[in-house]
Amino acid sequence: MKSFHAVTITAVLLGIFVGCNQQSVPEAKVEAFKRWHFARAQILFGIAKEHYRSGQLKEARAKLREALRLDDKHTEARILLGKVYIEQGHYALAIVEFDKIRNRKGELPRLLYLTGIAREKQGRLEDALLSYRRAHALDPKNLAPVTAAAEVLVALNRIREAQIYVESYLALAESDPALFEMAGRISAMRKEWEQAAEHYQQALDLSPKNIYYKRALAKMQFFAGQYRLAKQSLNNLLKDQTDKSPVWVYAMLGDCYLALGRARDARDTYQVAIELKPLDAGVWTNLAKAAMALRDTPRAILSARRALEISPNRLDATMLLAYALIRNDQARLAIGVLNGAVIRYDDSSMVYCLLGRAYAAVGNIAEARRSYAAAIRVEPGNKLARELLTGIGIQKISKVN
């Protein structure tokens, strides 16, 4: 009896064991299949990242799609696919990918930030602004959405609002040069040059090798009239072996030297700029200014004429040429230059004043008076023209001193 029961129990247990085994085999296969899919998706994701880094967007997109067919819950693959879509200009498709993740995982700061980028690229600026602000609210330590939101405010022409918004976060930007750069750019838009220079200096302090910050700082210092500081910054740019300095660096450095009364250094610096860009009328004009400061009128005449050959309608070069001709006892030639100029610049009181000086230099007092009167008609408050018109110094002028 015992033997019978033992056999029966053994048989039942064996049946249960076999039955369980038969049920777990498919489950094991499914799990193994899932693991294989996951491993394969990971490999494809890794390949896609390499393609993305090297700019091979089409190849990256194909691999990411393949990875998501194997594992549609691969969050990082879907995010990268959205970024690829943004790079390719498929902004709506990018938002679809981000929404798929949001539906499964809720709002994530990174997703909101990327969604903001896609919406901004679409031209949906108000929506982008909301996305950036929401991203920052969920991750207050990340200031990238603040910078992005400020960019959108600028694009919406809400410049003052952008400035207030950015500056409210600067105290937190101890290691974020981009936010200081944004603050500098906005200050420059408002022509607050000194403040812009301060912000760019802070950005450069945080990122000392950033050539864009170095150039921007030099410009802001120059526009602020901080010529000594600008000179130093521009010379630092010239010493930077990693940077092939553009012509404007030499031209601006020359302007600094001229403003600081170092006309010889200005002349030499402009000469370097001309060697780099011989057809730059602005640099030729500045070289004429330096030559005038050095009382080298023949060089000033040649330089101003060269500027006008390149750009015939430059008023500053025209005025310099005429003034240099008067200084060089060639007032009659100056009259010819200026009579042509008053046709083009009949709203310039200075052209009329200089023409009056040229006429006075050759002794034609009547024409000089007519020129000064014309200057007053154009600019009633022109003190110089009024003094000359009333006869101050007219009889004494034989040439411009």
Q: Is 30 exposed, middle or buried (0-12, 13-18, 19+ CB in 10 A)?
A: exposed
Residue with tokens 């030297």: 257
The DSSP 8-state label assigned to residue 398 in this structure reads S
Q: How does residue 78 score in pLDDT terms, banded at 50, 70 and 90?
A: very high
Residue 173 in this model has a pLDDT that exceeds 70: yes
Round to whole Å and give the CA distance between 341 and 203.
45
What's this model's pTM, rounded to 2 decimal places?
0.78
pLDDT at residue 36, rounded to an integer: 77
Q: CB neighbours (10 Å) of residue 79?
A: 19
| Exposure letters 105-140 (e unless 16+ CB within 10 A, then b) | eeebbbbbbbbbbbbbeeebbebbbbbbbbbbebbe
Q: CB neighbours (10 Å) of residue 285?
A: 26
Round to whole Å and give the CA distance between 330 and 326.
5
Q: CB neighbours (10 Å) of residue 254?
A: 27
Nearest to 88 by CA among 123, 110, 121: 121
The DSSP 8-state label assigned to residue 119 in this structure reads H
Angle at 202 between CA 229 and CA 246, to 5 degrees: 55
Round to whole Å and give the CA distance between 83 and 75.
12
Residue 388 in this model has a pLDDT that exceeds 90: no
Round to whole Å and give the CA distance between 365 and 358.
10
Question: Where do the domains of the chain lie?
Answer: 329-401
**pLDDT exceeding 70 applies to what percent of the chain?**
88
Residue of higher predicted confidence among 243 and 311: 311
What pLDDT, in 10s, does the model give residues 258-285?
A: 999 999 999 999 999 999 999 999 999 9
What pLDDT, in 10s, does the model give residues 28-61?
A: 665 666 677 778 889 998 999 999 999 999 999 9
pLDDT at residue 207, rounded to an integer: 94
pLDDT at residue 17, rounded to an integer: 43
Residue 313 in this model has a pLDDT that exceeds 80: yes
Asked if 256 and 263 touch (Cβ cutoff 8 Å), the reply is no
What's the longest Cα–Cα distance across the chain? Answer: 150
What pLDDT, in 10s, does the model give residues 108-135?
A: 999 999 999 999 999 999 999 999 999 9
Taking phi first (over 0 means left), then psi (-120 to 50 degrees means alpha), and beta for anything else, what does residue 282 get?
Answer: alpha
CATH numeric code, 329-401 = 1.25.40.10
**Which residues contact residue 379 at a Cβ distance below 8 angstroms, ignoring those fewer than 6 apart?**
349, 385
